[in-house]
Amino acid sequence: MLLDACVRLLAYSNQIIAEGIPVRLVFEDGLAMGYLDRMGFFDHLTPEVEVSPDRPVVSGAYVFGGNNRGLVEICAIRPGMDAHDLISKLKETIGATCGARTDFPQFEDAMTTILSELIENVYLHGGDGATGHAAFQSYPASNKARVVVSDNGRGLMQTIRPPLEDRDPSYRHVRDVDLLVEMFRDGLSRFDDPSHGNGLKGCATKAIRYRATLDVRLRSQAVTLVPSGEAYIPNTAILSSELPKLAGTHIAFELSLV
């Protein structure tokens, strides 16, 4: 399982159980369950979700957490929390895995900006009381790393579309994928004030500089944004539609280790 699939499964399971629908996760071999345990998946999975075979008695993330310099186990994002420690932990791991880059000082600064922006968006677009999770994993065999920031709030489109359409009714005919690309490329925002809403654009600008691919899971769509020149454009976006409803916004970006 890729890291973002792990975090999205966590969000989906917890959201479904919160709607009163019984959830049972069945693992037919120990590999997937062992990986999820090591990532701290079961530490954040609501107790009402049934797991077969039984959940691990002792958390693998608790026992082995911090032993792998290329891994940040799933961390919770909660209302009112100080995200400084989480960002510092992610930065430290990125430094341990990507420190060989000749451009590392600039790279580290870019990653810090991206992480701060994505974590801030949990509250900005998630709404009051929004919760989320973040995690990091390196994949040395493919020379890649993935960073995931996921929230369970209202969602990017649900917060941005209504005020945009009120200001300009023509946005009612714009596809979600085109709107998403415009957010990352041009700083499109729900705010009429141009001094607001440039966070995602700044995040994307830094991600593109390092050829990072962005994966965004919306309520019923998944969009992969692949850099093209100096921007993300609709023509290179990969879109999956009519997916099971998943509240919130779930963003993962993949970057090179060197």
pLDDT at 89 over 70: yes
Cα dihedral angle (193, 230, 176, 197), rounded to 10 degrees? -20
Chain position carrying tokens 């009112």: 80
pLDDT at 9 over 70: yes
Tokens linked to 49: 């979700």
The domain limits of the chain are: 69-256
What pLDDT, on the 0 to 100 scale, is given for residue 187? 59
Predicted structure pTM score: 0.87
Q: Are strands 238-240 and 222-225 parallel, antiparallel or unpaired?
A: antiparallel
What pLDDT, on the 0 to 100 scale, is given for residue 145? 87
Amino acid at 220: S
pLDDT at 34 over 80: yes
Least confident range of 81-90, 115-124, 211-220, 246-255: 115-124
pLDDT at 61 over 80: yes
Chain position carrying tokens 């009051």: 128
Radius of gyration of the chain (CA): 18
What pLDDT, on the 0 to 100 scale, is given for residue 192? 52
Which are the contacts of 249, defined by CB distance < 8 A and separation ≥ 6? 121, 125, 126, 150, 151, 153, 155, 156, 216, 217, 218
What pLDDT, on the 0 to 100 scale, is given for residue 241? 85
pLDDT at 193 over 70: no
pLDDT at 194 over 50: no
What pLDDT, on the 0 to 100 scale, is given for residue 179? 83
Strands (E), the chain: 24-26, 50-52, 71-77, 132-139, 144-151, 213-217, 222-225, 227-228, 231-232, 238-240, 250-256
Residue 65: pLDDT band by 50, 70, 90 thresholds?
confident
Instruction: Please provide the DSSP assignment of 209-234 as one string.
Output: HTT-EEEEE-SS-EEEE-EETTEE-G
Residue range 69-256, CATH number:
3.30.565.10
Q: Taking the alpha carbons of 158, 82, 252, 21 in that order, is the dihedral positive or negative?
A: negative
What pLDDT, on the 0 to 100 scale, is given for residue 127? 62
